[in-house]
Amino acid sequence: MSEIEKNLGKGTTSYETNVIQFPEHNILNISENQIKGNFGENYVSYILSKYCLVRPVASGTDIGIDLYCELILNREPFLHFWVQVKTCKAVSIKQDSASYQFKTSHLQYWYRQPVPVFAFLVPVNWPKNPSKIYVVNITEYLIREGIPTSDTKTLTSNLIIEPENNESLEKFLYEIVPITHAIKKITDGIVAPIPVLSPQYERKYVIGFTKKYVMRILNTIRTTAAFASLDLLKQEEKILN
């Protein structure tokens, strides 16, 4: 036997008698809520992916949005919307609706976003797939009611999506999302038709929101007319010169 083999034998014996024991409290534990939350986000992403391009928010950068979604219509990208998924025990289910207590700081953040934001409340009966997903139209509520003055606000769902029923999902995507886009424009003082992919002779508008934002609308009309008139005059001057 060579010297190397003898040393290897000694080293092996020494290694076997010095096994490191790790204390049990150092083992990483994943809570049930974390598992359910992960399942809920991926399940909603799967459901929406039938009709949308869905981009999950990267881990560590989630400050109130879980999914960036882009609706696809006739194989063309159409409208964007964002989704926050809630699956924990704080989701309260009552008959055909669900509610959740949101932090006002999150509501303020969602109000400032450039596209509609929806909360998907997912009752997770692990490991079964949920039969219903409850949707809260965050953007519509904030535009209609304003930002709460309390630290938290409980909001109730106003739509149910049944994953096995494409009709309910299509209603959300092709009706609720476009309508909410039109509602959001009113906060900028713009009364715009409900968006469609291809221009149509008949246009539809949302009602019930203009009174609260009438001053913004009038200001938009005034400034648009003023700048348009100024621009026309400048164009005329260029032509004459």
Q: Cα-flanking dihedrals φ and ψ of residue 192, to 5°?
A: -115, 150
Q: Is position 218 within any domain?
A: yes
The total of structural domains in the chain comes to 2
- Both 215 and 109 in one domain: the answer is no
237 belongs to a structural domain: yes
* Cβ–Cβ under 8 Å, residues 187 and 173: no
CB 101 within 8 A of CB 136: no
Q: Return the closest-CA partner of residue 46 out of 67, 60, 63, 61.
A: 67
**Which residue range(s) make up the domain with 84?**
31-207
Structure tokens at 44: 């909603």
What's the maximum distance between 2 C-alpha atoms anywhere in the chain?
A: 105
Give residue 128's pLDDT: 74
pLDDT of residue 25: 57
Query: What does the alpha-carbon distance between residue 56 and residue 69 come to, in Å, rounded to a whole number?
Result: 9
Same-domain pairing of 36 and 149: yes
* 87 and 194 together in one domain: yes
What does DSSP assign to residue 51?
Answer: T
This prediction has a pTM of 0.81
- SS3 of 60, please? coil
Instruction: Tell me what pLDDT residue 215 has.
Output: 92
Inside any domain, residue 12:
no
User: Coil, helix or strand for 170?
Assistant: helix
Same domain, 171 and 145: yes
Contact yes or no for 176/140 (Cβ under 8 A): no
pLDDT of residue 110: 95
What is the per-residue pLDDT for 198? 81
Residues 153 and 220 in one domain: no
Per-residue pLDDT of the chain (241 residues; tens, 9 = 90+): 555 555 555 555 544 556 666 555 556 677 766 777 778 888 999 999 999 999 998 766 667 899 999 999 888 999 999 999 998 666 778 878 899 999 999 999 999 999 999 999 998 776 678 889 999 999 999 999 999 999 999 999 989 999 888 999 999 999 999 999 999 999 999 999 999 888 778 889 998 888 889 999 999 999 989 998 888 888 877 777 6
